[in-house]
Amino acid sequence: MLASIRTLNYHPHAGARALASNRANVIALVLPLRAGMHVPVLMQFAVSVVTTAREFDQDVLLMTADEGADGLRRMDASALVDGLILMDVELDDARIPLLCELDRPSVLIGFPAQPAGLTCVDLDFYRAGQVCVEHLARLGHTDVALIGAPGAVYDRGTGFARRTMAGFLDMAAALRMSAAAGPCEQDPVAVGARVDELLARHPALTGLVVHNEAVVDPLLAALVAHGRRVPEQVSVVAICPDGLAHRATPALTSVLIPAEEVGTQAVRLLMRKLGGQPVPDSSLLPPRLTVRDSTAPPPRV
C-alpha cells in the first residue's frame, strides 16, 4: 500500500480530511496593518507563525484588515479556522471581550492591561526598557532619552510601546537619571526635528534608546549632521531585530525583538489548546542585550 501511495504521488484531500475530523486545519493570524507599524518586523513574526504552523500540518489565513471585533465575529461564523493568533494588542483591546466568548481557542502576541484568563506571549518590553537604561547607567551616562514609536502607536494604547516607555522612565527615575521620552514619526524630516528638539532642550544628553526600527538610519544621520559622533559623544541602544542592529553604522548595541521565538511559541501554545492540553496564561520572554559598537562611556567634561 505504501509503495502504491508513493507511486501515485497520493496526498490526503484537505476538504475530506476536514470533514472527517471536524477541523479546518487552518489557523488565523490577525495582523491589522495600522498607522505607525513597521511592516518588515511584522513580517518576521508572520513568517515564523506560518513556518511553525506547517510543522503541525496547519495552514495560516492572514487577516490584515483593521476590522476589530467585527472581523473576529465574521471569522468565527464562517468556520474557516480552528483557532486565532492576534497581534498588535492594545492595553484596552476591543477584541478581548469577544475572544472570551468564542468557542475557538486563541493566543495573543502581546499583553492587554488585564491578561487574566487569556493566553499571551511576548517579549517583556517593560523590562527591555529598563535593561537599556541600566546599560547606559553602567557606562556612566546620566542624561538619556527614548526615541519612541510614532504617535499613533501610543494614541491607540499599543501595549509594547507603552510598556517600553514605562520601563525606560521608571528605571531612569530609580537611578536618578535625567530622562526624556516621546514619540517620533518615521520620515527623515521628523527624525531630524526630534533630534534638534532633544539636543536643544537637553544639551547634556549623551545616551539614546531607540524603539522605532524605521528611524534608526535617519537618527544616526541626524546625529552626524549635528556633529555628535556615535559612540564617542552619544551612545545609542536600540530595541530591534539583530539584522537591523548589524546593518547600522556603527553596529548597534541592542535588545533583540525575538520575532521568530515569539511566533513559534504562539503557534505551539495554540496547538496545545486545540489538543485540549493545559497552557500557561502568560509567557514573557526576558530581554537579551547584545553590546556592539554604538555604546561607550560618556565624554569627559
- pLDDT digits (tens), the chain, 301 positions: 455 445 545 444 444 444 444 678 999 999 988 888 899 999 999 999 999 999 999 999 999 877 777 778 887 777 899 999 999 999 999 999 988 888 899 999 999 999 999 999 999 999 999 999 999 999 999 999 999 999 999 999 999 999 999 999 999 999 999 999 999 999 999 999 999 999 999 999 999 999 999 999 999 999 999 999 999 999 999 999 999 999 999 999 999 999 999 999 999 999 999 999 999 989 999 999 999 999 999 998 7
Whether 135 and 83 map to the same domain: the answer is no
Residue among 83, 125, 101, 137 at smallest CA distance from 271: 83
9-16: Cβ within 8 A, 24+ apart? none
Is residue 280 included in any domain, yes or no? Answer: yes
Pick from 3, 263, 276, 287: nearest CA to 107: 263
**Any idea what DSSP says for residue 90?**
B
Does one domain contain both 250 and 161?
yes
The number of distinct structural domains making up the chain is 2
List strand residue ranges (DSSP E) for the chain, in order.
26-30, 59-63, 83-86, 106-109, 120-123, 143-147, 178-182, 207-210, 235-240, 253-256, 282-285, 289-290
User: How confident is the model at residue 20, as a pLDDT?
Assistant: 44
Helix residue spans in 79-124 (DSSP H): 96-101
Whether 292 is covered by a domain: the verdict is no
Q: Indicate if 107 and 130 belong to the same structural domain.
A: no
Q: Is residue 300 part of a domain?
A: no
CA atoms of 99 and 110, how far apart (whole Å): 14
- Facing residues of 28 across strands? 61, 84
Query: Does 298 map to a domain?
Result: no
Q: How far is CA 250 from the centre of its chain?
A: 23
Any residues with CB less than 8 A from the CB of 110 and at least 6 apart, and which?
Answer: 86, 87, 88, 89, 120, 122, 158, 159, 160
**Which residues 6+ apart lie within 8 Å of 64 measured at CB?**
31, 32, 33
Please answer whether residues 85 and 270 qualify as being in contact, where contact means their C-beta atoms are separated by less than 8 angstroms.
yes
Does 291 map to a domain? no
Cell of 227: 556633529
Q: Give yes or no for a contact between 193 and 184, defined as CB atoms under 8 angstroms apart.
A: no
- Domain of 173? 125-257
Q: Specify whether 119 is located in the same domain as 266.
A: yes
Instruction: State whether 98 and 8 are in the same domain.
Output: yes
Q: Are residues 108 and 133 in the same domain?
A: no
Give the CATH number of the domain where residue 91 resides: 3.40.50.2300
| Residue 40, pLDDT score | 93
Quick check: is 290 in a domain? no
Please count the other Cβ atoms lying within 10 Å of the Cβ belonging to residue 172. 28
**Amino acid (1-letter code) at residue 58:** Q
Examine the domain organization and report whether 184 and 160 are in the same domain.
Answer: yes
242 and 213 in a single domain? The answer is yes
Is 301 among the domain residues?
no
Q: Is residue 135 domain-shared with residue 253, that is, in the same domain?
A: yes
Q: Are residues 130 and 247 in the same domain?
A: yes
Give the CA dihedral 13, 16, 22, 23, nearest 10 degrees: 20
Residues 154 and 130 in one domain: yes
Residue 139 shares a structural domain with residue 85? no
Structural domain contains residue 39: yes
